[in-house]
Every structure is written in C-alpha cells, then in structure tokens.
Amino acid sequence: MNGKAVVLLSGGLDSATTLYYAKAKGYDCTCLVFDYGQRHNKEIESAKKIAGSCGAHYKIIKIALPWKGSALLDRSVPLPKNRKHLARGIPATYVPARNTIFISFAVSCAEAIGAKAIFIGANAVDFSGYPDCRPEYYKVYNELIARGTKAGAAIKIHTPLIHMTKSGIIKLGKKLGVPYGRTWSCYTGGKTPCLTCDSCIIREKGFREAGTRDPLGKR
C-alpha cells in the first residue's frame, strides 16, 4: 500500500484510466468529482459508476462559476465541431483556470486527510490545446504546493498520462480493466456521443489507433 491519494475524476476516459492506475499502484484513493455548472451531468454520473467499480471513495464538490467564459458553461456559446487541428489555439470549451481551481481543492483535501499524492489525467499529446494540461504547468504547481502548504513538498501532483498518446492510454486502461463503457467523453449530454466535438474526435482516434472498439461508439 502506497498510502492515500486524491484523484480528480471527471468521468472521462483519461481520469478513469488514472484512477485505475493509482489503484494498481496500491493507493487508497479518494476521488473528487466536480459539479461546476457544466452543460450536463452525464460525466458526473459516469464518475460515480467508475469510482464504485473499483471500490474508491468519492466526494461530489459543487461549485459555481457564474462568470462562465466557456462553451461548457454557457449554452449560448456554440460547441466547436469537426475541428481538424485540435491543438492549434485554445478552443471555446476551455474553462478559465479550471484545473487550477480543481487542484486547489485536491491540495486542501490531501492535506486534510494525510494524502501525499494527487493524481490527474492530464494529457499533452492527443488533446484540445488547453494550457492547463501541459507538463510545465504541473511542474510549477508542484513548486507552489511545496512553498505554500504546511505539508510542503510531501504532497506531489502525479500526471501519469501526460506524455502518452490516446491509443497508449486506452491500451494501458485495457490492461488495468478500466470499464470504458461507463465513461463519458462527449461535450454534449445526449443519449449517445455526438462524434463531432473535440473530445469525441480524440476519443475515436484513440480507439481506432489502439485497434479496439469503443463501447460507446457508433450505434
């Protein structure tokens, strides 16, 4: 047993893989699931199922971002569709400082419960270009934790997927037994994925390149 860990769990493919990775490393995981006013709650329900599937504790953290500033928070802003160059520029689905906010909660939780590790499924290879998914961001945040908390450098953020392709993540998840049929990646909240938003496009590419079928693929 590696001790306690806090895992940021969105209900998507990457965060589910990260949770199963942390469990496989022997951590006793507490998952933080954020209800921050996003377009739909399907990912929240997915996160609950994923946490339950591996016996992890979870807490629903409800916060408000009334200033919006993202297509994921403001239905009047259209979701980007069928983008060909996903990592060029920052898309309308970027939520201002979202990971900074989420990790701040995770650091507070980790200090309170005595956890030394924080896991997040950030990825800087097959991604939409979000600035808070890049390695240098987490390097600086770890320095901030070391300087600005009682626990200091004892708490570290772990980003095990950050340099992996989406297909590599899926292959890892398959080995770990991640129930991808319970995950939700689509930015819309329909009965089935839209297959045209950035998240759906990246997910489809990953499963295709991994040579396996997405359980949430075309119906």
State the alpha helices, DSSP H only, in the chain.
13-24, 42-53, 98-113, 135-148, 166-176, 198-210
* Alpha carbons 156 and 211: distance in angstroms, whole number: 34
Report the predicted TM-score, pTM, of the whole model to 2 decimal places.
0.95
pLDDT at 217: 77
For the chain, the helix, strand and coil percentages under 3-state DSSP, each to the nearest 5: 40, 10, 50
DSSP H or E run through 147: helix 135-148
Q: How far apart (Å, rounded) are the C-alpha atoms in residues 116 and 1?
A: 13
Task: For residue 154, count other CB atoms closer than 10 A to its CB.
Answer: 15
DSSP code of residue 98? H
DSSP conformational letter for 132: G
Question: What domains, with CATH codes, occur in the chain?
Answer: 3-210 (3.40.50.620)
pLDDT by position in tens, the chain (length 219):
789 999 999 999 999 999 999 999 999 999 999 999 999 999 999 999 999 999 999 999 999 999 999 999 999 999 988 887 666 678 999 999 999 999 999 999 999 999 999 999 999 998 878 999 999 999 999 999 999 999 999 999 999 999 999 999 999 999 999 999 999 999 998 889 999 999 999 999 999 999 999 999 754
Q: How would you classify residue 48: left for phi > 0, otherwise alpha for psi between -120 and 50, otherwise beta?
A: alpha
Do the beta carbons of residue 178 and residue 14 sit within 8 Å?
A: no
